[in-house]
Amino acid sequence: MTLRTVRRALVGLAAAALTTTALTATASAAPADAGPGHGGHTATQAAMEAQVEAGVPGLLGQARDGDGIWQGSAGVADLRTGRERLPQDRFRVGSITKAFVSTVLLQLEAEGRLGLDDTVEHHLPGLVRGNGNDGSRITLRQLLSHTSGVYNYTEDPDVHAQLSTGFPEHRYESRTPRQLVAVALKHRPDFRPGTRWHYSNTNYILAGMIVEKVTGHPYGHEIDRRILGPLGMRSTSLPGSSPLMPSPHGRAYSKLLSTDPQAPVQDVTELNPTWAWSAGEIISTTGDLNRFYRALLGGKLLPERQQKELTTTVSGGDELPGARYGLGVATVTLSCGVPVWFHGGGIHGSVSMASGTADGRHTAAFNLNGDWSGDPGALLEAEYCGTVASGSGTGEHTAVRKLAALN
């Protein structure tokens, strides 16, 4: 697969996420030498610095491989003070949340408490109906693989306006999961269940509701006791309706989806994430994301049957050129022939990427603290292939942003 095709695929995934002047890059790296297939993480650091030169305020990255842990940064965490980004900084991970939700549902299947071929109607009777929507025809597997056809509520014009130009007015408002689903059900389905692929945050709102129906507990409680606690992910949290970020953290910057290059940069660090809920509310660190992907891909969280279901993929068609989607994770073969599992996550002022090889022995996680520029796909190419490319984040580089956005 060519580098051009790979980057179209990666940007296609990250563009399902939300979608200042260039700063001088700064860098810090913990001692770690050669990574698999290339000499150390020099290319990764260079790719991060290229993102800053292209306009991203700051980046944070961590890689784990057979040689240990490498930590890198570029740019700043705070445009006002100039503070550099710290390895322990928390940030919003957006749609990377989806892998946590799918893992819980797969664990529940392994326990015999539900089946992936159960219908939505079976667990949430009467909820998904009207305008051609029929929960009795949609399975849990189709929710997790984005093949349900249910409309993406963040594509609704009113919601989109609230998340973009109306963000200053609506940033602290709370939404309930049922309200988010109701927005989606005002629209007809995009297609018959199981016939196509289209990224829809509504799928994972429904998945979170099913976790709560089956367990009788908040879905965040199940993530905490099944994943965060056992893995020691002490820097990861689910904020609920709180707009605040736990310390330490930098700032998050956005142009609120404006396509105007001269649009003002706004500080969007504080927001009520209930509009994302189980589709994208988690806060974490690069270290915790690597810990999660290492365990998930390494088979430490799921039995063999459920691990196979996690990584059984469907084509994303023209939306995900060159990539395939499993259950909350996606895969692409990079230009150097290395297959990588990954998911992006985008929410106001934060674009993140979590990734790993199939065995989980080499993982890498990144965060960009601006949502209008940058190329997460270039970071994967740099880390796993040693390829340094431009950080422009335009044109063909828009495919990893698809999965990283929540619009």
pLDDT tens track for 45-86 = 999 999 999 999 999 999 999 999 999 999 999 999 999 999
pLDDT band at 241; cut points 50, 70, 90: very high
Q: Which residues contact 338 (CB under 8 A, 6 or more apart)?
A: 37, 357, 384, 385
User: Cα dihedral sign for 322, 326, 327, 328?
Assistant: negative
| pLDDT beyond 80 at 395 | no
Give the residue with greater pLDDT, 402 vs 238. Answer: 238
Instruction: Assess whether the previous peptide bond of 248 is cis (omega < 30° from 0).
Output: yes
The Cα–Cα gap between 366 and 290 comes to: 10
**pLDDT tens string 246-280:** 999 999 999 999 999 999 999 999 999 999 999 99
Task: Say what the pLDDT of residue 404 is.
Answer: 53
DSSP 3-state of 162: helix
Residues 243 and 212: beta-carbon distance below 8 Å: no
How deeply is 402 buried, as exposed, middle or buried, from its count of CB atoms within 10 A (0-12, 13-18, 19+)? Answer: buried
> Residue range 383-394: average pLDDT?
69
Q: What is the residue-averaged pLDDT of the chain?
A: 89
| pLDDT beyond 60 at 18 | no
**Catalytic residue ranges:** 95
Task: Say what the pLDDT of residue 84 is.
Answer: 98
pLDDT band at 29; cut points 50, 70, 90: very low
> Residue range 304-318: average pLDDT?
96
The Cα–Cα gap between 67 and 322 comes to: 30
Residues 45 and 60: beta-carbon distance below 8 Å: no
**Kind and range of the H or E run holding 351:** strand 350-356
Find out if CATH 3.30.1360.120 is the number for domain 3-398: no
| pLDDT beyond 50 at 296 | yes
Helix axes 97-110, 286-297, angle to 10 degrees: 30
DSSP 3-state of 364: strand
Task: Say what the pLDDT of residue 401 is.
Answer: 52
**pLDDT tens string 152-197:** 999 999 999 999 999 999 999 999 999 999 999 999 999 999 999 9
pLDDT band at 406; cut points 50, 70, 90: very low
Task: Say what the pLDDT of residue 400 is.
Answer: 53
Task: Say what the pLDDT of residue 40 is.
Answer: 80
Q: HSE on the CB side for 193, CA within 13 Å?
A: 20
User: Nearest 5°: CA angle at 256, between 324 and 209?
Assistant: 55
Residues 252 and 91: beta-carbon distance below 8 Å: yes
pLDDT band at 388; cut points 50, 70, 90: confident
User: Nearest 5°: CA angle at 354, between 348 and 358?
Assistant: 155
User: Cα dihedral sign for 279, 256, 378, 5?
Assistant: positive
> Residue range 279-298: average pLDDT?
98
> Residue range 7-17: average pLDDT?
50
CB-based burial, 316-350: b 16+ in 10 Å, e otherwise: beebbbbbbbbbbbbbbbbbeebebbbbbbbbbbb
| pLDDT beyond 70 at 131 | yes
Give the residue with greater pLDDT, 321 vs 95. Answer: 95
Residues 336 and 380: beta-carbon distance below 8 Å: no
User: Cα dihedral sign for 220, 221, 226, 230?
Assistant: positive
| pLDDT beyond 80 at 39 | no
**pLDDT tens string 76-130:** 999 999 999 999 999 999 999 999 999 999 999 999 999 999 999 999 999 999 9
Out of 21-25, 130-134, 229-233, least confident range: 21-25
pTM equals 0.91
Task: Say what the pLDDT of residue 6 is.
Answer: 45
Residues 83 and 173: beta-carbon distance below 8 Å: no
Task: Say what the pLDDT of residue 27 is.
Answer: 35
Helix ranges (DSSP H) in 249-303: 286-297
Give the residue with greater pLDDT, 26 vs 340. Answer: 340
| pLDDT beyond 70 at 25 | no
DSSP bridge pairs for 75: 58
Task: Say what the pLDDT of residue 234 is.
Answer: 98
pLDDT band at 333; cut points 50, 70, 90: very high
